[in-house]
Amino acid sequence: MTEKYNMPDTRGHFGPYGGIFVAETLMPPIQELNAAYQRYMVDPEFIAELDADLKYYVGRPSPLYHAERWSRELGGAQIYLKREDLNHTGAHKINNTIGQALLAKRMGKTRIIAETGAGQHGVATATIAARLGLECVIYMGAVDVVRQSLNVYRMKLLGATVVAVESGSKTLKDALNEALRDWVTNVDNTFYIIGTVAGPHPYPAMVRDFQAIIGREAKQQCIEQAGRLPDALVACVGGGSNAIGLFYPFIDDASVAMVGVEAAGDGVETGRHSAPLCAGRPGVLHGNRTYLMEDDDGEIIETHSISAGLDYPGVGPEHAWLKDTGRAQYVNITDNEALEGFYALTRMEGIIPALESSHAMAYTMKLAPTMSKDKIIIVNLSGRGDKDMQTMAQREGIML
Amino acid sequence: MSRLTGKFAELAKAGRKALIPFITAGDPNPDFTLPMMHAMVAAGVDIIELGVPFSDPMADGPVIQRASERALAHKMSLRKVLALVGEFRKTDQQTPVVLMGYVNPIEAMGYENFANAAQQADVDGVLTVDLPPDEAEECVALLKARGIDPIFLLAPNSIDERIKMMDAAGSGYLYYVSLKGVTGAGHLNTADVETKLKQIRGNTKLPVAIGFGVKDAETAKTVANLGDGVVVGSALISKIEAHQDDLATAQQQIVELLAAMRQAMDS
Ligand SMILES: Cc1ncc(COP(=O)(O)O)c(C=O)c1O
């Protein structure tokens, strides 16, 4: 790339993607949020407070770990894991949640709402709300409430109200719908902390900017440890926040390949999957234009994935743009393949990954052997597997 | 002059306000809608807003959400809604019909294909909840070129600048959403609406219809006095929901409610 990457434009467009597609009542709070975001992202005091929280509360920087045994076993490229699983609350989600909560505080909002799929974003939000003494309501699809019950308990412990959403497919997209309805109703005192790089502008850009710490650290750590930039980056893509967080600081480094891994569920060919970039088409949902899983009439179709955090029919608009421009590639991994990734990392490195992150691990198992031993892959280990113990034990026929 | 503009001019001349029912096309099944539209016209309504069901109706409360789900269960779609309007036009060339829904079904069809199909079906207006004027340039141009009015929403928190934007982009009428919230919610505060309408009138000459929170003849009369038209949705759809096994009763109760509103508004 000759010109420096500079997306989105001032109206939140990544080429044809992104934008602000919302009901009129949400326009004023979105403009208010955008003004606050523009102001505080360059405010030294805000940045200092955020950095201190990330260091002392979250535990950053997270390590970049050379998975030597696994790399040797696979016989190809050297695999480095970006250990977002070691963050407080167990996933990358908190990087963004802290940032938005600090904004909420400065904007004088007293009530925080969020949607959650796997519950990681819900837990991260409930955590910050507890710390800042803010009222917190988390919307979660009724299906996800069952399969991520441990996280539901954590959120309640932290003092949040968890609302099980019974409409539509009862998963992440419906939780988002319900959170938007809450926001429309309570715009005056409520801050909506969206958990991924989706939603109307400025969310995709703002969440990316809060998550970009992943890539900034990884870049510096890779240079320190290996003496050079990596050859490839791999991350799972639900809404796409952990992926863009890793990718973004490398976009202008043309030698670094970027691969986003979508959830293929039972297999893309079965139609039972969550892979809009691989098998969907552009449309408008939840405030932005992006790739979606929809039928011929433009109705959103149900998604399937073993991991609640990837079970979403859309994807952040910046990924749609990176796909169309060819700067990033998007592949998909089935439930069964993800399980292989889950077991491999657990047995080979003693690290139990989240089922979401396991998709990135599974693709790495395919990619590494095709590369020579002097190549470097950085894989985003976006979260730890504690929350998935129930699901995994059940699959193995064990009652906990 | 578009049918909508003509209708509001005619009403203004007669000193009357527009009664605008909203029902979701295909709720509870596709056969119900067409006779219901004709029955509403007979009950004295002026304009019909026809909801295009969408899988993710983010701005709607539970009543209209469930209406969408019932319609989608019968495979209702934007194409079928357009066909329905075409059917309606065979016997009614007077009553303006406005499609109201979300933008994704229109995106899926393609803006130009949709505009052509809407023109062919003789649709009068299109209200897309999640397509604010900021993103609507292309769609608005295509609709206006075909004599179709793009209808935009105004909210209690809309500032002068936004109202001016709607005035420039919209035609036919503007739709004032009288409370912060989803459809079917709460009670509207008459004094607040009155104050807001003054601000809106200061920024646009377009007629203003008021919706959200209109439940019965009394609220319809109150709201009618504040604007140029009254939109009633959830209150009608609740009747459909309550009498799904006896749709003749549903239709009758809707007609009775609308007739009562008409009478109250005209008295
Ligand atoms: C551990 C983990 N990884 C990834 C994701 C997917 O989200 P995103 O694509 O925004 O990173 C989630 C979402 O819940 C998650 O919990």
The DSSP call for residue A200 is: S
Distance (Å, whole) CA B17 – CA B180: 24
Measured CB to CB, residues of chain B less than 8 Å from chain A are 54-59, 61-62, 65, 69, 72, 77-79, 102-109, 129-132, 134-135, 152-159, 162, 177, 180-182, 185
CATH number at residue B217: 3.20.20.70
Query: Strand runs (DSSP E) across chain B, as ranges?
Result: 18-24, 48-51, 97-101, 125-128, 149-154, 174-177, 208-211, 229-232
User: Domain range for residue B37?
Assistant: 3-266
- pLDDT tens column, B201-232: 999 999 999 998 899 999 999 999 999 999 99
Maximum pairwise Cα distance, chain B: 48
- pLDDT > 90: percent of chain A: 96
Task: Give helix then strand counts, H and E, for chain A.
Answer: 16, 15
Q: Is the pLDDT at A102 greater than 50, yes or no?
A: yes
Q: A24 vs B153: CB contact, 8 Å cut-off?
A: yes
- Sign of CA pseudo-dihedral A25, A26, A30, A33: positive
Q: Report CA(B56)–ligand 1 centroid distance (Å).
A: 22
Number of compact structural domains in chain B: 1
**Contacts A276 to B, Cβ<8 Å:** none
A64-66 and A135-141 as β-strands: parallel, antiparallel, unpaired?
Answer: unpaired
Distance (Å, whole) CA A234 – CA B125: 47
- The more confidently predicted of residues B188 and B247 is B247
- Which of A28, A167, A285 is opposite residue B157, by nearest beta carbon? A28
Q: Which helix (H) or strand (E) holds B228?
A: none
pLDDT at A124: 96
Does A84 participate in catalysis according to the annotation?
no
pLDDT at A255: 98
Distance (Å, whole) CA A142 – CA A147: 9
pLDDT at B212: 83
Q: Which residue out of A81, A84, A310 has the highest number of ligand 1 atoms within 8 Å of its CB and is therefore the one to mutate?
A: A310
Does B49 participate in catalysis according to the annotation?
yes
Residue to mutate among B54, B56, B153, with most A CBs inside 10 A, is B56
Mean pLDDT of A369-383: 98
CA A336 to each of CA A67, A74, A305, A333: distance values in angstroms, whole numbers, following the listed order: 22, 19, 10, 8
The number of angstroms, rounded, from the C-alpha of B5 to the middle of its chain's C-alpha atoms is 15
- pLDDT tens column, A42-60: 999 999 999 999 999 999 9
Closest Cα in chain A, distance from residue B13 (Å): 31
Q: Residue A14's CB: how many other CB atoms inside 10 A?
A: 25
Report how many Cβ contacts below 8 Å link chain A to chain B. 118
How much helix, strand and coil, in percent to the nearest 5, is found in chain A?
A: 50, 20, 30
pLDDT at A2: 60
pLDDT at A1: 46
Distance (Å, whole) CA A380 – CA A84: 7
SS3 call for A63: coil
- Give the position of tokens 């009498």: B243
Query: Strand runs (DSSP E) across B80-236, as ranges?
Result: 97-101, 125-128, 149-154, 174-177, 208-211, 229-232
Distance (Å, whole) CA B21 – CA B18: 10
Maximum pairwise Cα distance, chain A: 57
Distance (Å, whole) CA B71 – CA A103: 41
Please answer whether residues B133 and B152 qualify as being in contact, where contact means their C-beta atoms are separated by less than 8 angstroms. yes
pLDDT at B235: 96
Mean pLDDT of A64-68: 98
Helices (H), A326-370: 335-349, 355-367
Q: Compute the mean pLDDT over every residue in chain B, rounded to the nearest whole number.
A: 96
Q: Is the pLDDT at A282 greater than 70, yes or no?
A: yes
Please tell me the residue having the least CA distance from ligand 1 atom 4.
A356
The DSSP call for residue A285 is: E
- Give the position of tokens 């360059």: A42
Q: Which of A364, A370, A343, A327 is nearest to A80 (CA)?
A: A364
Q: Is the pLDDT at A360 greater than 70, yes or no?
A: yes
Query: How large is the angle between the packed helices A203-211 and A213-226, nearest 10 degrees?
Result: 30
Mean pLDDT of B168-193: 89
**Contacts A283 to B, Cβ<8 Å:** 104, 107-108
pTM, two decimal places = 0.97
Closest Cα in chain B, distance from residue A183 (Å): 8
Ligand 1 contacts (CB < 6 A) are: A 91, 117-118, 120-121, 196, 236-243, 309-310, 354, 356-357, 382-383
Q: A298 vs B108: CB contact, 8 Å cut-off?
A: yes
